[in-house]
Amino acid sequence: MPERSTYDTRFFIEYFYSSDSDLLRKFKEELRSVRERMVSAVTVHEIYRISLEREGREVAILRSEAIRRDFRIVDVNYEVAVRSAELRSRHRIPMADSIIAATAQIQKSHLVSDDPHFKEIEDLRTRWPIK
């Protein structure tokens, strides 16, 4: 397992909403095996919004606080903004995905996601705990 990983929104959607116990076990193993876990601030935004709309403000706050406690939050700074704009233009991907991909590239980490948008991006190492 890599020492550094950046986690995409898709990871948290599966982690928080899946009823598949085998999947959840593998995701927990994944989290225990990585020394430095990171998320883009954009991922926090997406998970907060999804939780807010599905389950309300209390759950959204609890989940975002859990992420803040267990992951290093990477802000969108100038370098991330410029690189993500380049990725978005070149690959025609959504803005959030381009920011998350740029974050993983700049942090020199694996991106934990099964989103097909990321497969086409050069110099982006992706992986998913489930084959």
Residue spans per domain, the chain:
4-75+110-118
Task: Output the pLDDT for position 117.
Answer: 87
CATH code of domain 4-75+110-118: 3.40.50.1010
Check whether 1 has a pLDDT greater than 70: no
Greater confidence, 58 or 131? 58
Smallest CA-to-CA distance from 50 within 38, 58, 40, 60 is with 60
C-beta of residue 38 within 8 angstroms of C-beta of residue 5: yes
Strands (E), the chain: 4-7, 36-40, 72-74, 110-112, 126-127
pTM for the full predicted model = 0.93
